Amino acid sequence: MTASAEKFTRQTLLDVTPLTPSLFTFRTTRDPGFRFTAGQFARLGVTKADGSTVWRAYSVVSSPFDEFLEFFSIVVPGGEFTSELSRLRTGDTLMVEKQAVGYLTLDRFTDGRDLWMLSTGTGVAPLLSILQDFEVWEKFERIILVYSARETKELAYQELIAGLAQRDYLAEYAHKFQFIATVTREEHPGALHGRITTLIENGELEKAAGVALTPEHSRVMICGNPQMIDDTRALLKTRDMRLALTRKPGQIAVENYW
């Protein structure tokens, strides 16, 4: 098979940044021909010592306009992929499939006034990509990013989130954005305490946002662990909110993050 016929390109690892013992970010070069829509994921491959390749899907954190690709990962103890990735150093290569995929994208919604972005753990990754793209800021009147972690130290990308409003191309839209952090295992000043579903049920999330979650005005993106997604979808279903499908408009778009 020629290089042009292969389904992947080889990209260089630019940086690996540990955030906590269980979380890290990494950047690679980006092939000029690699295209993706904010919110999509790419399949990455690393080669094991025996010559076999391990593939995993990672949502892209970086903007579609960045010249690099950035990803956010959890360390899986004994995990095939992260064990191999941890051995790589700056300058080493890994494989990136040429075709990005995923449906946690803005085109899932044909209307809506308020965009709620609900995330747990590394599930914040595709939402950060969307927030760095201009389209979302024009499309919605209000954007509420809700980011839940077990401990405060696991709330990554705080500098990026705080800096969104400082970007020249977003400055006039800064008033639309609200960030709500929630921590489940400890109390932290400025953050809510509890799971996202609990905070929806008891009304604390809507109170903090100052806006109601309604099928008329709200569109909801959910990304995180499968149990959180299932529980949140079930909860929103009681409010007459449904999954947005290609031929059936709805209020919810999801991405299972593992």
Interval 171-211: pLDDT, tens: 899 999 999 999 999 999 999 999 999 999 999 999 999 99
Mean predicted confidence (pLDDT) in 46-50: 90
Share of the chain above pLDDT 70, in %: 97
Give residue 212's pLDDT: 97
- Say how far apart CA 30 and CA 1 lie, in whole Å: 22
Closest CA to 150 of 258, 23, 256, 17: 23
CATH class of this structure's domain 3-97: mainly beta
Cβ neighbours around 80 below 10 Å, total: 14
- Say how far apart CA 243 and CA 221 lie, in whole Å: 10
Q: Which residue has the tokens 């016929």?
A: 5
- Say how far apart CA 201 and CA 122 lie, in whole Å: 23
Give residue 5's pLDDT: 55
* Domain limits, the chain: 3-97, 106-256
**What is the residue type of 97?**
E
Mean predicted confidence (pLDDT) in 93-109: 95
What distance separates the 2 farthest-apart alpha carbons in the chain? 58
Interval 121-146: pLDDT, tens: 999 999 999 999 999 999 999 999 99
Give residue 77's pLDDT: 87
Closest CA to 164 of 117, 109, 202: 117
In this predicted structure, the answer to whether residue 154 has a pLDDT above a threshold of 90 is: yes
**pTM for this entry:** 0.95
* Distance linking the first and last C-alpha atoms of the chain: 31
Average pLDDT of every residue of the chain: 94
What fold characterizes domain 106-256?
Rossmann fold (3.40.50)
